[in-house]
């Protein structure tokens, strides 16, 4: 019987994008919300690279490039700046650094959020691949972050598809706790179930 490998470490970038939080007008809630949710969902040892920056397109793009190209993040999640307001430029900055778009993530996030608020159709989140990293724009509110990542009875959360996407682009094998978010992989891509 072969010995089970320990979970692979993963480096995750978290970028909270807010003019007011970045200048101290109020405390940022995006980074702690994402760290808490990811820590509860993933079995893998996680190294976080977190940033709190204003809504500036060039700075957002530069930060995403640094997290992927220099810090070696396998997954980068942004929160904030995805609405229709003039200062909301996160999607544009994300597309600026993209090698390929992954439109299904944004489509599903809006579908999930529509179960809670009719203004979900105003959201412009995108997801892209840069090199061997997946970058996803998330909503700005902690409750909405948890809903879009984990889902609810009427709509599956987006994070269920993240581990297999990262497999396909050459990243580490992400393992999730089923009670938080069960990762989906085709049978031929699954490793043996971890015990305990």
What pLDDT is recorded for position 146? Answer: 93
What pLDDT is recorded for position 17? Answer: 96
Phi then psi for residue 57, to 5 deg, are -55, -50
Q: Is the pLDDT of residue 186 over 50?
A: yes
- Stated pTM of the model: 0.95
Q: What is the band of 126 on the pLDDT scale with cuts at 50, 70, 90? A: very high
Q: Which of 65, 125, 69, 77 is nearest to 101 (CA)?
A: 125
How many CB atoms sit inside 10 A of residue 99's CB?
A: 11
How many CB atoms sit inside 10 A of residue 9's CB?
A: 11
How many CB atoms sit inside 10 A of residue 190's CB?
A: 12
Q: How far is CA 128 from CA 4, 133, 135, in A?
A: 32, 8, 5
Torsion of CA 32, 155, 161, 193, to 10 degrees: 90
How many CB atoms sit inside 10 A of residue 52's CB?
A: 17
Angstrom distance (rounded) from CA 151 to CA 44 = 21
| Average pLDDT value for residue range 85-93 | 96
Helix (H), strand (E) at residue 146? helix 142-150
Radius of gyration of the chain (CA): 16
What pLDDT is recorded for position 1? Answer: 43
Contacts of 13 (CB under 8 A, 6+ apart): 48, 49, 50, 51, 64, 67, 68, 71, 73, 75, 76, 77
Phi then psi for residue 8, to 5 deg, are -75, 140
- Report residue 12 as tokens: 């995750």
The β-bridge relationship of strands 10-17 and 75-79 is: parallel
- Domains of the chain are 10-186 (3.40.980.10)
Cβ-contact 193, 163 below 8 angstroms: no
pLDDT tens sequence across 19-62: 988 888 888 999 999 999 999 999 999 999 999 999 999 999 99
């Amino acid at each position: 019987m072969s010995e089970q490998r320990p979970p692979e470490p993963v480096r995750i970038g978290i970028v909270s994008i807010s003019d007011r939080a970045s200048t101290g007008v109020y405390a940022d809630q995006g980074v702690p919300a994402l760290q808490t949710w990811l820590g509860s969902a993933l079995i893998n040892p996680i190294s976080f690279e977190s940033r709190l920056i204003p809504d500036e397109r060039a700075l957002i793009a530069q930060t995403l490039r640094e997290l992927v190209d220099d810090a070696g993040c396998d997954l980068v999640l942004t929160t904030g700046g995805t609405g229709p307001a003039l200062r909301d430029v996160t999607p544009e900055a994300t597309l600026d650094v993209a090698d390929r778009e992954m439109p299904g993530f944004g489509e599903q996030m809006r579908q999930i959020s529509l179960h809670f608020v009719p203004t979900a159709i105003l959201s412009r989140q995108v997801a892209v691949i840069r090199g061997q990293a997946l970058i996803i724009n998330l909503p700005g509110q902690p409750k909405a972050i948890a809903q879009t990542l984990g889902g609810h009875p009427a709509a599956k959360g987006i994070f269920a598809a993240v581990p297999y996407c990262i497999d396909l682009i050459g990243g580490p094998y992400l393992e999730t706790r089923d009670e938080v978010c069960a990762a989906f992989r085709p049978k031929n891509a699954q490793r043996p179930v971890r015990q305990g």
